[in-house]
């Protein structure tokens, strides 16, 4: 259950983004979580909604965009079906994870009075 410690890091990240805009309040957050990032989106949402009060994010709902895992061949760029052996049947190259390990803050909306 590391989602609570990720919320702490998330709040720190939002503070860093918002700091130059001293008079603003945080209105909404958008984050991206990859399917293979090791973070459960529902638990992250629950942890955020539990711990945002008393922080800079107290009034800011969070929208999570879940990014599907996408393995591809680094040479021919063929995509791998979910659950497939991660070696290209054409090139024999080991697959590369093209998407799906994101733990990213993507957008902070600030209210400027």
Partner 1 sequence: MCQDCGCGDPEVVPIDVQHRILAKNDATAAHNRAHLVEDSIFCLNLMGSPGAGKTAVLEATARAAGNPRRFAALAGDLATDHDAERLRIAGIRSRAITTGQACHLDAELVHRSLHHFDLDGVDFLFIENVGNLVCPAVYDLGQAANVVALSVTEGEDKPLKYPTMFKNADLVLLTKIDLLRHLPHVKVEKILDSLSRVMPEPRVISLSALDDDGFGEWMQWLESRRAAMAPREHVHA
Binding site for partner 1 (CB under 8 A): 1-2, 5-6, 9-10, 12-13, 16-17, 21, 24-25, 27-28, 31, 36-39, 71, 83-87, 94-97, 103-113
CA-CA distance, 30 to 108, in Å (whole number)? 7
Nearest distance, CB of residue 53 and partner 1, angstroms: 19
- Nearer to partner 1 by C-beta: 2 or 54? 2
CA-CA distance, 70 to 59, in Å (whole number)? 34
Nearest distance, CB of residue 18 and partner 1, angstroms: 8
**Residue 35 CB contacts under 8 Å (≥ 6 apart), including other chains:** 66, 67, 68, 69, 100
């Amino acid at each position: 259950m590391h989602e609570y410690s990720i919320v702490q890091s998330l709040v720190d990240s939002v503070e860093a983004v918002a700091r130059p805009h001293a008079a603003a309040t945080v209105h909404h957050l958008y984050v991206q979580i990859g399917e293979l990032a090791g973070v459960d989106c529902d638990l992250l949402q629950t942890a955020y909604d539990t711990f945002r009060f008393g922080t800079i994010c107290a009034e800011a709902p969070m929208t999570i965009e879940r990014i599907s895992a996408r393995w591809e061949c680094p040479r021919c760029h063929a995509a791998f079906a979910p659950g497939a052996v991660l070696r290209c049947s054409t090139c024999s190259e080991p697959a590369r994870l093209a998407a799906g390990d994101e733990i990213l803050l993507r957008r902070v909306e600030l209210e400027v009075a």
